[in-house]
Amino acid sequence: MAFGKDHVLTMNDGNKIPVLGFGTYCGDSDQKKMCEEATKIALEVGFRHIDGAYVYETEEQVGRAVHAKIADGTLKREDVFYTGKPGADLLPFGEDKKLIFDNVDLRQTWEAMEACKDAGLVKSIGVSNFNLKLMEMILNKPGLKYKPVINQVECHIYQNQSKMLNFCKSNNILLEAYSVLGTQRDKRWIDQNSPVLLEDPVLVAIAKKYKQTPALVALRHQLQRGLVVLVKSFTKKRIEENMQMFNFHLSEEDMKSLDGLHQNMSYIKPEIFAGHHLYSPPEEN
């Protein structure tokens, strides 16, 4: 899968998405206080893809950050690819009042989204946390007008989503990865007994070989697999560092070594989604 000159991929509707996105989920009130400034820094160092959601409760902060960078001449609104997602109750588009933007580029649920696209309220429509069963269901939906351009899922060296990736590639749908670096900070959503991904000995050894951090190698691994990658940080040094994932290339041998770390393990507690009427657990690879 070839990247454009600005590190973008073309989706099946012709629109382009930057392959590196900045995540804005905050696990606690302290992180939420830092979200606006972190988003400003991300835009300053070159991020042009911002991932948000109603449930993150950070849309106001993100909106202020983007508009501040527009006001100071750093960028134009059309330069920013923003992903939004309604709440678990699938709020209609008009009820998502916290979002400051007039429109969004990608809103990841399906009810009424085709109508929103026809009305020009969104540019592209996709899904998140869909497994193969749900992907097949939506692609086989009677009267389907637009198929999803993307599916956003948990994906990392311990959960490589190979079946989903192959399915998406065969249907000209992009796969987008979150929790690429693993995470254990949010006790509400994250299994605290999970291994620390960035301390994996194979990952650490490969990072030393390339004189890169384990985080950059983990990001680069997913990028070379053809995924859109989301990453989150609240410190300027790490936000700047994440942009360096474009500066090196992993060998085929090292890619295979990282692929071999798959354990079909999820950091996200399954009960987070289990109450939703569309929930179906992911398939084992």
Residue scoring higher pLDDT (119 or 255): 255
Question: What integer is the mean pLDDT of 186-198?
Answer: 73
- Please tell me the distance from the alpha carbon of residue 284 to that of residue 145, in angstroms, as a whole number: 30
Q: Are 62 and 52 in contact (CB under 8 A)?
A: yes
Q: Answer yes or no: 158 catalytic.
A: no
Q: Which of 154-158, 194-198, 255-259 has the lowest mean pLDDT?
A: 194-198
Lowest mean pLDDT among 158-162, 181-185, 221-225, 238-242: 181-185
Q: What is the pLDDT of residue 103?
A: 52
Q: Which is more confidently placed, 255 or 184?
A: 255
Residue 22, token pair as written in the block: 């900045």
94: confidence class by pLDDT, cuts 50, 70, 90: very low
Q: Please tell me the predicted confidence (pLDDT) of residue 89.
A: 44
What DSSP line would sit under 154-205, residue for residue?
E-BTTB--HHHHHHHHHTT-EEEEESTT---S-TTTB-TTS--GGG-HHHHH
More confident residue, 254 or 29: 254
% pLDDT > 90, the chain: 58
Cα–Cα distance for residue pair 231/21, rounded to 1 Å: 6
pLDDT tens sequence across 204-248: 999 999 999 999 999 999 999 999 999 999 899 999 999 999 999
Instruction: Compute the average pLDDT of residues 61-80.
Output: 93
Q: Hey, what CATH topology would domain 17-274 get? A: TIM Barrel (3.20.20)
Is the pLDDT at 118 greater than 50? The verdict is yes
pLDDT in tens, 14-58: 999 999 999 998 877 888 889 999 999 999 999 999 998 877 888
Question: Which pLDDT does position 97 carry in this prediction?
Answer: 44
Domain ranges of the chain: 17-274
- The single residue of 25, 54, 56, 82 carrying the catalytic annotation is 56
Rg (CA), the chain: 18
Q: For position 254, what pLDDT does the model report?
A: 98
Q: Which of 216, 185, 129 is closest to 258 using CA atoms?
A: 216
